[in-house]
A and B are shown apart, each in its own frame.
Chain A
Amino acid sequence: MLDRAQVLHVARLAKLELDDEEVERMAAELSKVLDHVDRIRELNLDDVPPTSHVVDITSVLREDVPIPCLPREAVLAAAPEPVDGGFGVPSPGASAQ
């Protein structure tokens, strides 16, 4: 079961502002889903290796040769605040502490 404080903690980790009503609803809905998925903890999985990848892939590195990348202006075209050829962000301000 997730309580209000846990929901707020996870929301902070996820950088997601939730209003009071969302916190209540999230606690109830996530608890219900977690109750269901908790059933997998009843399985005996002691010596089972976790899946890291579903198909066998070995070396996938390409030759270390430079290839052209997107032009800077094309990339910045969708940015909310392009500044001096880069991405502008607000000051970290109080949240930096």
Chain B
Amino acid sequence: MTDLIELTAADAAARVRAREIEPGELFHAYRERAAANELNAFTWVADGAPEGSPGVDTALGGVPIAVKDLFCTEGVPSQAGSRILEGYRPPYTATVVGKLSAAGAPLLGKTNQDEFAMGSSNENSAFGPVLNPWDRGRVPGGSSGGSAAAVAAGLAPWAIGTDTGGSIRQPASLCGIVGVKPTYGACSRYGMIAFASSLDQAGPLTRNVTDAALLLSQMVGHDPLDSTSLEFPGPIELPRAEDLRGIRLGVPEDLLGGAGIEPGVRSSFEATLALAEGLGAIVEPCRLPHAPHALSAYYLIAPAEASANLARYDGVRYGLRVDGDADLDRMYSHTRAVGFGAEVKRRVMLGTYALSSGYYDAYYGTAQKVRTKIAEDFASAFERFDFVVTPTSPWTAFELGAKTDDPLAMYMNDFCTVPMSLAGIAGISIPSGLSDGLPVGFQLAGPAFSEARLLDAAHALELAIGFDGSVIRR
């Protein structure tokens, strides 16, 4: 059994196609580990692969996948970590989940998350926090914390999550795995329970860069059901690069200076830059003068969009209803008071305020102008550099409860990841080593639709770093 668990997803798929292992055997091995659920990473686990799952000769070879709870899955609980959707079983399936299933990855289970993807620690889930497998007294990051913990601990071969301001990259960083935030529009958002529609993107969380490339290659593409999705230019091949000759990496010191980066994270970042130079990369400082303002713009834009998206939870069409005997207005406001957790209420309030009459221009309008400047900063950086690199998170996994009383301190988790989200560009986090026994993440960001090049560069770095996450899968 342990042997099966030790295979990367891409290797497992290849072994299935070579008739060396049975997909049912693989599903069973992971199902048993997922169902034990010691980390509270899953909110639902499948009994078996669905009847009529595509056969052995598929791109994803029957290797089962864990899916963040906010992806709608027909007939299966899809609760987005919220009490207001407790027990909700949608009548349809998200496009990305359907594509993966058709490509040969059956649904293993649904993973725990911060409520409506709002959070950086998974402590905002109505179903309890997920524990970090490296230290169960610490958070796995968020909001895709269940997906990240499940992959890191070998409870799932691979997983998908969503990233709005860092919700794939930051938990990947804190759990010592790979996480990709694709270009905005690369993957369909149809059937993803919405948080901030101009920022939300689905992406892979995997043990290594090759698995991420394989999974992403089956996720991308235009979907007639999402008018913001685009045809992906060119195929995503498995990465092969082993060096970084001629690749120019920009280090945005004006962003890093304001991030409050821990010394252990900083030294892992510096060591990775030295490795990159050893592989032939040219590493130089680059300017992103507006990036330090990204967090402020983000915490106006994302809550504003969330306040509009979450208006649909009104106790009428699905989910919770409270005080159904009162009049309509009281039913609405009581349902939302009981159904939403503290962080969701905070962001709905913040967003409603930022959009309210008399404040719209000062807050939302200004934030959207900052967003334009941030995108321009990246565009000029990419004239000189192939990729911009930063630590993914300013710190390693922190203790449960350490930041729950200070929302602003919690928001600082996203300092290095929100600029890319606002610009709509592609980013990846790979593990760069350990600091005091906890994983550190290294982020590479490239222009829109540069995923193939980005994965190649990440692959070369991954080989040189030689991070070994197998210790926590045992």
Binding site for B on A (CB under 8 A): 2, 6-7, 10-11, 13-18, 22, 26, 29-30, 32-34, 36-41, 43, 45, 48-55, 57, 60, 62, 70-71, 74-75, 77-81, 87, 89-96
CA distance A38 to B299 in the complex (A): 11
Instruction: State whether A26 touches B296 (Cβ < 8 A).
Output: no
Q: Contacts A79-B317, A80-B321: A17 and B336 contacting too (C-beta < 8 A)?
A: yes
Residue among A10, A51, A71, A75 with the most chain B CB within 10 A?
A51
B91 adjacent to A74 (CB under 8 Å): yes
Contacts of B411 in A (CB 8 A): 33
Can you report 21 residue pairs joining A to B where beta carbons are below 8 Å apart?
A15-B314, A15-B329, A18-B337, A22-B345, A32-B407, A33-B350, A34-B350, A39-B293, A40-B296, A41-B362, A48-B372, A50-B365, A51-B372, A51-B375, A54-B184, A57-B185, A77-B89, A78-B91, A80-B316, A80-B318, A90-B324
B352, A17: Cβ atoms closer than 8 Å = no
Q: Provide the bound-state CA to CA distance between A16 and B185, in Å.
A: 32
Main secondary structure of the interface of A (DSSP, over half): loop
Pair A30/B408 contact, Cβ less than 8 Å: no
Q: Does B380 count as interface, using CB distance less than 8 angstroms? A: no
Q: A45 with B373: in contact, given A36-B408, A54-B198 (CB under 8 Å)? A: yes
> Within the complex, which residue of A36, A49, A79, A87 is in contact with B369, where a contact is CB–CB below 8 Å?
A49
**14 additional contacts (CB under 8 A) given A22-B345, A37-B297, A54-B375:** A2-B353, A10-B349, A16-B340, A17-B330, A33-B350, A48-B373, A51-B375, A55-B184, A55-B448, A57-B228, A78-B318, A80-B318, A80-B319, A80-B321
Q: A51 near B371 (CB under 8 angstroms)?
A: yes
A97 to chain B, nearest CB (A): 10
Can you list, as one digit per residue, whether each of B361-372 has a CB less than 8 Å from chain A (1) or not (0)? 011011111111
Say whether B348 faces chain A, with CB atoms less than 8 Å apart. Answer: yes
Collect the chain B residues with CB atoms within 8 Å of residue A33's CB: 299, 350, 407-408, 411
Interface residues of B (CB under 8 A from A): 88-92, 183-185, 198, 224, 227-228, 230, 290, 293, 296-297, 299-300, 307, 311, 314-321, 324-334, 336-337, 340, 345-346, 348-350, 352-353, 356, 362-363, 365-373, 375, 407-408, 411, 422-424, 448
Q: Are A43 and B370 in contact (CB under 8 A)?
A: yes
Q: Check if B349 sits within 8 Å of A40, measured CB to CB.
A: no
Q: Which residues of B contact A91 (CB under 8 A)?
A: 327-328
A90–B352 contact, CB under 8 A?
no
A90 touching B327 by the CB < 8 A rule? yes
- A26: nearest chain-B partner, CB-CB: B349
Q: Which B residues are in CB contact (< 8 Å) with A41?
A: 362, 366
Q: Closest CB-CB distance, B346 to chain A, in whole Å?
A: 6
With A and B bound together, what is the CA distance between A78 and B375 in angstroms?
41
Assess whether B370 is in contact with A79, with CB atoms less than 8 Å apart.
no
What's the least CB distance linking A6 to chain B, in Å? 8
Residue of B nearest to A27 (CB): B349
Known contacts A43-B290, A49-B369: A30-B346 contact under CB 8 Å: yes
A75 to B327, CA, bound (A): 24
Chain B residue numbers with a CB within 8 Å of A81 are 321, 324
With the chains together, A49 CA to B367 CA distance in Å? 11
Q: Given the complex, which residues of A lie within 8 Å of B92, measured CB to CB?
A: 70
